[in-house]
Chain A
Amino acid sequence: MFLPVRSEGTPMRQPVDRRAFLAALGVTSLAGCLGGGRDGGSGPDTPGAVTEGGTKTTGGTDDVARGGPPTTDETLPLPMDPEAIQEEAVSGGPPKDGIPSIDEPSFVEADEAVETLDPDDPVFGLAGEAETKAYPQSILVSHEICNDVVDGRPVAVTYCPLTGTAMGFDRGETTFGVSGRLVNNNLIMYDRATESWWPQVLATAIPGPWNPEPSVRSLREFRVVWTTFARWREAHPDTAVLSRDTGFAKNYDRDPYGSYNPRGGYYLPESGTMFRSLSDDDRLPPKTVVVGTRAAAGAAAFEKDRLREERLVDGELGGDLVHAVYDPTLDTGYVYLNPDGATFEYHDGKIVGADGATYTPASLPLDRVLAFDAMWFAWAGFYPETTLYAR
């Protein structure tokens, strides 16, 4: 089942201008934050401001003028034409907003959250410059979207249970809602200003019945860390935790799909998908977790279990060398762009550079690109040309 993947090591060179490629990735400096974001973020882990190296955000498109969410100059890759993606959309059953987004979230301190969260329960962590927040999977499984404000910045923290993806987006003055439709089993969000459809993983507008001709642009996104409550609390003792007081009467002790603690039901690696997926790539069991990164020039996926074992896995993205680095503190992975091919190795819990300098997994002196956990079938369906680095 675990087939060989494209070789690591020296990257193939592609006729892509480096500056343009970096701009397309939207990588940013590491200075002052946890890493670089795809676009306009001060880092993939923070919904920060535009910094050097990041592409500028758009502000004058028609949809933005209508109050739509802020978008990027560069559009993320799509597996097919936007119209074809719309044709692949299926109803999940609930109507528009039948799965209600959380629009007025409240938070509790971590000490209070221990009453409802076990240490190994998954949470989606967001570390801003001033605020740190955790969004329990047990709550978001019933809402999928939390429209929040972090560091004074309107954001949406989103989660699709069927593809195992937690992602953050800038939302501007609007809010996101759940359309009730899915593509490749992935949540299709809609923004309440222009009513455009936004498949979560693609993060790009596609036509839909409520807005047949949206500006096909990509959202500004930032990293949300999939980790456990105990790990996040250890790393961020002062974190706020999304409260169960969401304004809705839901049973947050029951996950209708299965369980992550321990893993079971729909979330088991070998289990099938709820709806037809866009890919039949069986190099990995469908629900195997990969850490994926994508840009206009390509996509790469690192099997998370391999990353856990090897701690540092080399790969390529758009023809350039990238390093996927495991962070045991949060049980997550980061992906760094290394177009100059500088040498890094893993030794005794540290990443060691060619000059002998050591780095923590979160602090390599390279541009970090946005990466996030996803179920393999979802990643392969959306990015069929992806490279895969598996065991």
Chain B
Amino acid sequence: MLGDATTAGSNVRGHYFRTRQALGAASRRRDSRVVFLFGTIGYLLVYLVTVGDLAYVGGPSSEITVRTVDDLSRAVASTGFFRFGAVAVVSVAGLTYILSPLNTVVALLLAVLVGANLSLTYLGLVQPRACGLEASTGVLAGVPALLSGAACCGPTILLVIGVQASATVIAGFQFLVPLAVAMLVGSLFLIGRQVDPQLL
């Protein structure tokens, strides 16, 4: 038993070390850095739109306007599952961004994980002897968080697809963000162990 536990621990450390090495290799290559950047920014934008923090509302004005709140404690006020209050509204060229520091932290965490997944997936695909990689793994892991956006009452996605919410569904929505984080970290290890930095 002790031997099994030791082996398991050794495997985890091995996966971690291998993933870290792969990430290091990805950070040194220009092409994988570009993939990371595009993946991170792309997911960040999509996430902000789906949760309602970023919206195109139209209007001809190209002038930047910033409206801030006096009560900065709004930043830590919970407005839903992993959703927090905003402290500023930034508008430019018809785009409106609701600046919520904690929402932004959550968004950045998810986006960086998606970017890292995409970057390692890319490396896995371009390395000569890689096999068994699913290019979509990292992206799919980020999907649950995209569904976590909520209108004032009820999840936005249910409005879109026209499905009625229930107490169970609402309860399930609170797990979407942590589920996405867990899946993204898991897939990162999964992909990372299959990338051999020596081959890059």
Q: Tell which of B67, B68, B156, B162 touches A256, judged by Cβ atoms closer than 8 Å.
A: B156
Q: List A contacts of B133 (CB < 8 A).
A: none
Determine the residue in chain A with the shortest Cβ distance to B155.
A93
| Chain A 318-345 per-residue mask, 1 if CB under 8 angstroms from chain B, else 0 | 0000000000000000000000000000
B154 contacts A92, CB within 8 Å? yes
Chain B nearest CB from A195 CB (Å) reads 18
Residues from chain A with Cβ under 8 Å of B166 in the complex:
90, 275-276
**Given the complex of chains A and B, what is the CA–CA distance between A247 and B78 in angstroms?**
16
In whole angstroms, how far apart are the Cα atoms of A294 and B59 in the complex?
43
Stretch of B84-92, B118-126, B135-143 that contacts chain A: B84-92
Within 8 A of A (CB), among B80-111: 80-81, 83, 85-89, 96, 98-100
Once A99-B152, A144-B152, A251-B98 are accepted as A-B contacts, the answer to whether A274 and B77 lie under 8 Å apart by CB is no
B-side contacts of A251, CB under 8 Å? 52, 55, 57, 89, 96, 98
Q: Are A90 and B79 in contact (CB under 8 A)?
A: no
Determine whether the beta carbon of B153 is less than 8 Å from that of A99: yes
| Partner pick for B80 among A93, A141, A258, CB 8 A cutoff | A93
Provided the pairs A182-B153, A249-B74, A257-B151 are in contact, do residues A272 and B164 lie with their beta carbons within 8 angstroms? yes
Question: Would you call B34 an interface residue if the criterion is a C-beta within 8 Å of the partner chain's C-beta atoms?
Answer: no
A119 contacts the other chain (CB 8 A): no
Q: With an 8 A cutoff between CB atoms, is A94 at the interface?
A: yes
A262 → B minimal CB distance (Å): 14
Give the interface SS of chain A, mostly helix, strand, loop or mixed.
loop
**Contacting residue for A247 out of B71, B83, B88, B162, CB 8 A:** B71
Q: How far is the CA of A245 from the CA of B98 in the complex (A)?
A: 15
**Contact indicator A93/B71 (Cβ below 8 Å):** no
* Distance of A293 Cα from B171 Cα, bound (Å): 35
A contacts with B, residue count (CB < 8 A): 36
Interface size class, chain B = 35 or more
Q: How far is the CA of A100 from the CA of B80 in the complex (A)?
A: 12
Q: Which residues of A contact B89 (CB under 8 A)?
A: 249-251
Contact residue among B83, B86, B150, B154 (Cβ-Cβ distance under 8 Å from A250): B86
Count of A-B contacts judged by CB separation below 8 Å: 115
Contact code string B48-71 (vs A, CB < 8 Å = 1, else 0): 000010010111000000011111
- Residues in A with CB closer than 8 Å to B57 are 251, 253-254
In the complex, which of the residues B77, B158, B170, B173 contacts A90, with contact meaning CB atoms closer than 8 Å? B170
A256 CB, nearest partner CB in chain B, Å: 3
Shortest beta-carbon distance, B102 to chain A, in Å? Answer: 13
Contact residues in A for B159 (Cβ distance below 8 Å): 256-258, 265-266, 274
Question: What CA separation (Å) do A247 and B85 show in the bound complex?
Answer: 12
A210 at the interface (CB under 8 A from B): no
Within 8 A of B (CB), among A91-114: 91-95, 97-100
Chain A 241-297 residues near chain B, CB threshold 8 A: 245, 247-251, 253-254, 256-258, 265-266, 271-276
A248 near B170 (CB under 8 angstroms)?
no
Q: Which residues of A contact B8 (CB under 8 A)?
A: none
Residue B130 at the chain A interface, CB threshold 8 Å:
no
Most buried by B among A144, A245, A247, A275: A275
Instruction: Determine the residue in chain A with the shortest Cβ distance to B87.
Output: A249
Q: How many Å from the CB of A367 to the closest CB on chain B?
A: 36
- In the complex the two chains form, is A254's CB within 8 Å of B79's CB? no
Which listed residue, B80, B96, B165, touches A254 by the CB 8 Å rule? B96
Measured CA separation A144–B158 after assembly (Å): 21
Interface residues of A in 62-102 (CB under 8 A from B): 90-95, 97-100
Decide: B70 and A247 in contact? CB cutoff 8 A: yes
A122-163: which have CB < 8 Å to B?
141-142, 144, 161-162
B54 to chain A, nearest CB (A): 9
Given A249-B98, A273-B164, A274-B159, also A91-B170 (CB < 8 A): yes
Report Cα–Cα, A161/B151, bound state, in Å: 11
- A91, A161, A250: the one within 8 Å of B98 (CB): A250
Q: How far is the CA of A274 from the CA of B157 in the complex (A)?
A: 11
Measured CB to CB, the closest approach of chain A to B71, in angstroms, equals 6
Task: In the A-B complex, list the 5 residue pairs whose CB atoms are closest, starting with the nearest.
Answer: A256-B151, A92-B153, A249-B86, A253-B57, A274-B154
Beyond A95-B80, A257-B152, A273-B164, 17 extra complex contacts between A and B, CB < 8 Å: A91-B170, A93-B154, A93-B155, A94-B153, A95-B78, A95-B79, A97-B77, A98-B79, A99-B153, A100-B85, A161-B153, A249-B87, A251-B52, A251-B89, A253-B58, A256-B151, A257-B159
